Amino acid sequence: MDDASTLIDVKEYPDTEVQKNRVLTLEEWREKWVDGKIGFHQEQGHQLLKKHLDTFLKGENVLRVFFPLCGKAVEMKWFADRGHCVVGVEISELGIREFFTEQNLSYSEEPIMEIPGAKVFKSSSGNISLYCCNLFDLPRVNIGKFDRIWDRGALVAVNPGDRKCYTDIMLSLTRKGFRYLLAVLSYDPTKHPGPPFYVPDAEIKNLFGSTCNIHCLEKVDVFEERHKSWGIDYIVEKLYLLTEK
Ligand SMILES: C[S@@+](CC[C@H](N)C(=O)[O-])C[C@H]1O[C@@H](n2cnc3c(N)ncnc32)[C@H](O)[C@@H]1O
């Protein structure tokens, strides 16, 4: 693993087992949306993505960009506005509808035949498609391959026991020459049960190391007032660039 030089000294917590068996159900995620407990949503978009956008896009046009566990991430609009084609997957229909409404985008919806009860929402412009289904059902649908993956609030939100399966799906969706930006968080997992879950460096290496080059682009102190209620006093966000080996 290749590390960016940084002034932040990021602790790696040895007690990685503590969150191992934690499970959040899809119903619990949907309830968070209904109750407005979506502190993860960033209205202004993600600052590190903004900063590293050129590294991510590498000057290429008309890319297919995948947003796993997309919520109503405003960054989806950034890519669509630049002419890229965005595909997301999100279990909350409410979250998806809020995305289109808040971004002033008209859309249509249709059932996903392969997954009973699931739907896909498409912007009228045609370049944003959001699949409302469980990410783990996605292999049943042909959504094609992607040039870019923006993984923020996704690997860290997946139940720890499902990480390997999640990573296998992500890597199966990549196209030759892909770039995968992964944002994870480092905090003391004995103090907060998650999500977001703590994903240590060793886990990233374990999950992606055999197929990807892993380069840490940045480490930033992201501690905010709201984190005090989690019982933690330290949280650092790390941004990794994964590329094909
Ligand atoms: C922490 S939020 C992050 C949302 C978004 N990536 C962002 O940065 O704002 C995780 C999202 O994943 C959704 N989610 C959780 N598990 C899922 C699953 N198995 N399939 C699809 N969506 C899921 C939740 O409803 C929630 O909106």
State whether residue 202 is helix, strand or coil: helix
**C-beta of 178 in contact with ligand 1 (< 6 A):** no
pLDDT > 90: what percent of the chain? 92
Whether pLDDT at 228 is above 70: yes
- Distance of CA 7 from the midpoint of ligand 1 (Å): 31
Average of per-residue pLDDT across 222-243: 94
Whether pLDDT at 12 is above 90: no
For the chain, the residue count is: 245
Structure confidence at residue 141 (pLDDT): 96
**C-beta of 88 in contact with ligand 1 (< 6 A):** no
Which residue's C-alpha comes closest to atom 3 of ligand 1? 153
Look up tokens 């991510």; give the residue.
Answer: 56
Whether pLDDT at 5 is above 60: no
**Confidence at 3, pLDDT banded by 50, 70, 90:** low
Q: Which pLDDT tens digit goes with each residue over 60-96?
A: 999 999 999 999 999 999 999 999 999 999 999 999 9
By CB atoms closer than 10 A (0-12, 13-18, 19+), residue 142 is exposed
Structure confidence at residue 13 (pLDDT): 75
Structure confidence at residue 35 (pLDDT): 98
- Distance of CA 69 from the midpoint of ligand 1 (Å): 4
Q: Give this prediction's pTM.
A: 0.96
Distance CA 231, CA 208 (A): 30
Look up tokens 């109750």; give the residue.
Answer: 35
Nearest-atom number in ligand 1 for the CA of 41 is 9
Distance CA 151, CA 207 (A): 14
Average of per-residue pLDDT across 143-157: 98
HEC per residue, 105-148: CCEEEEECCCCCCCEEEEECCCCEEEEECCHHHHHHCCCCCEEE
**C-beta of 69 in contact with ligand 1 (< 6 A):** yes
